[in-house]
Amino acid sequence: MFVEQLRLLAVHAHPDDESSKGAATMARYAAEGVDVLVATLTGGERGSILNPAMDRPEIVADLPAVRRREMERARAILGVRQLWLGFVDSGLPEGDPLPPLPAGSFATLDVADGARPLVELVRRERPHVMLTYDEKGGYPHPDHIMCHRVSDFAFEVAGDPAFAPDLGEPWQPAKLYYHMTFHKERYEALHDAMIGMGLESPYVERLSSWEDKPEDAGRVTTRVPCGAYFEARDKALLAHATQVDPASFWFACPVEVQRAAWPTEDYQLARSLVDTELPEADLFSGIRAQRSVLNLSRQP
C-alpha cells in the first residue's frame, strides 16, 4: 500500500518566523505536492516594528490585524496552509533586571496547557513530520523557547491514547526536526563566497564574535536542497513588512551567491520512529521508503 499524501507541520512562535526559518524548504515541499501546514502559536501582538517605513500611528494602533494580513500574504507566497493557535505574544523583555512576562502570555503557561491546542492539531491533521526550534529557541525569546517545549511535548504525547482523549484520536508523527540554518559553517561559506566575488561581506562582525560551543558541534543531520525557492522565501519574509526592513541583514547576500555557496536549509533530526540513514537530504527519508500508510499511534 502506498504512502498517503505526505504531511509536514511547522510549528512557529510568531507570524514572520515561518518565513525566516525553513521557508524555502516548505515552499519546495508544497510545490512537490506535500501538504504543508504552519501552526502559529501567538499573534505577534507585542512584536516591535522593525521597519522604519511601517512605524506609523495607524499601524501601531492596528498591529494585531496588520500582522494577520502579513501572515496571509506570506502563506500565499509559500503555497502552504496556516492556522493560528490563539496564544498571546509574551514580548521580548528588556532591561536589567528583566521585567516579568505579561500575565497570561504564552511563555508563562504550563507546558501541558500550552501544548493542548497543538496536540489537538496534530491528531486532527496527522503530520508525518514536525519542525520546530531547538532548546535555545533559535534565539532566547521566551516564546521561542516555549515553542520548543510544547512542540517536544506534543510530539511525545499526541500518539498516546492515555493523554487527553478529549483532544481526538491518537496520532504519532514519525519524525521531529529542529531548525539549524543559522550556523557557523553556513555563514563562513557565504562570507567566503562574497569575498571571493569581490563583494563586501555582511558576516564579518558576526563571525569575529562567534563563540564556538562544544554542544553545537555536529548537530546538523539533514540538509534539504531548496535553492530554487530562495526567492519565494525572501518574498514571504518581505510580506511581513512591520517586522522586516528591506535594507536589513536578511537581504545583504545576493540570492545567486547563496544558491551557489549554500543551497540548503539545515536541520537536526531530534526524534525518529522510522529507520533513516544520516546524513539526510529529505525530511521524509525513511517515511517514503516504508511504502505504507503511516499511523504510528501507540496502542492502548
pLDDT of residue 108: 98
CA 232 to chain centre: 16
For residues 3 and 102, the model is more confident at: 102
The mean pLDDT value for 111-139 works out to 97
What are the tens digits of pLDDT across the range 200-248?
A: 999 999 999 999 999 899 999 999 999 999 999 999 999 999 999 999 9
**Is the Cα torsion angle 52, 57, 62, 63 positive or negative in sign?**
positive
The mean pLDDT value for 73-95 works out to 96
pLDDT of residue 172: 97
What angle, 0 to 180 degrees and rounded to 10, lies between the N-to-C axes of helices 230-239 and 63-78? 160
Q: Which of 269, 258, 277 is nearest to 218 (CA)?
A: 269
Q: Which amino acid is at 54?
A: M
> pTM (2 decimals)?
0.95
How far CA 182 is from CA of 12, 26, 98, 219, in Å, comes to 16, 17, 26, 12
Alpha-carbon gap, residue 11 to 105, rounded angstroms: 17
What are the tens digits of pLDDT across the range 151-182?
A: 999 999 999 999 999 999 999 999 999 999 89
* Mean pLDDT for all residues in the chain: 94
Identify whether the C-beta of residue 145 lies closer than 8 Å to the C-beta of residue 136: yes
pLDDT of residue 295: 58
What are the tens digits of pLDDT across the range 30-44?
A: 999 999 999 999 999
The mean pLDDT value for 91-116 works out to 95
What are the tens digits of pLDDT across the range 42-56?
A: 999 999 999 999 999
pLDDT of residue 155: 98
3-state secondary structure of 276: coil
pLDDT of residue 299: 41
Q: Which of 14, 82, 17, 13 is nearest to 233 (CA)?
A: 17
Alpha-carbon gap, residue 232 to 259, rounded angstroms: 13
Give the CA angle between residues 186, 245, 241 to the nearest 5°. 115
- Which residue has 515552499 as its cell numbers? 27
Identify whether the C-beta of residue 177 lies closer than 8 Å to the C-beta of residue 222: yes
3-state secondary structure of 280: strand
pLDDT of residue 1: 36
Given a cut of 90, whether residue 273 has pLDDT beyond it is yes
Percentage of the chain with pLDDT > 70? 96
pLDDT of residue 196: 97
pLDDT of residue 296: 54
Given a cut of 90, whether residue 293 has pLDDT beyond it is no
Alpha-carbon gap, residue 20 to 179, rounded angstroms: 10
Strand partners, 83: 39
* Reported confidence tier of residue 292, pLDDT bands at 50, 70, 90: low
Give the CA angle between residues 270, 274, 275 to the nearest 5°. 95
Going along the chain from its start, the domains and CATH numbers come out as 7-181+217-290 (3.40.50.10320)
